[in-house]
Amino acid sequence: MTKIRKPLSIEQLKEIQMRSDSPDMRVVLWEVRRLREIAATADELDRSLGPRVGMSGLIRATLRVQLDDQPCFVGMQPPQ
């Protein structure tokens, strides 16, 4: 299985757009934005659910690790 690359920062995405501002590139960048919005929704949901216990807690902890590595959440503190 191929390892997924580290996420691109907003600055890197802007640089890519400046180098190739084609209609196709704009569609790809909107897709990135859409997926980041989904990640933001998952983050909000996880933070609102309270303590992580049982199997659902394990699933949420795994999700939290993935969300914390996303550029839109870097620097945010995980819930206590």
As a whole number of angstroms, the distance between CA 14 and CA 38 comes to 20
Cβ proximity of 53 and 34 under 8 Å = no
> pLDDT tens track of the chain, all 80 residues?
567 788 888 889 889 989 988 999 999 999 998 888 888 888 888 888 888 889 888 999 998 888 887 776 654 444 44
Q: Which of 9, 3, 5, 4 is nearest to 75 (CA)?
A: 9
pTM of the model: 0.67
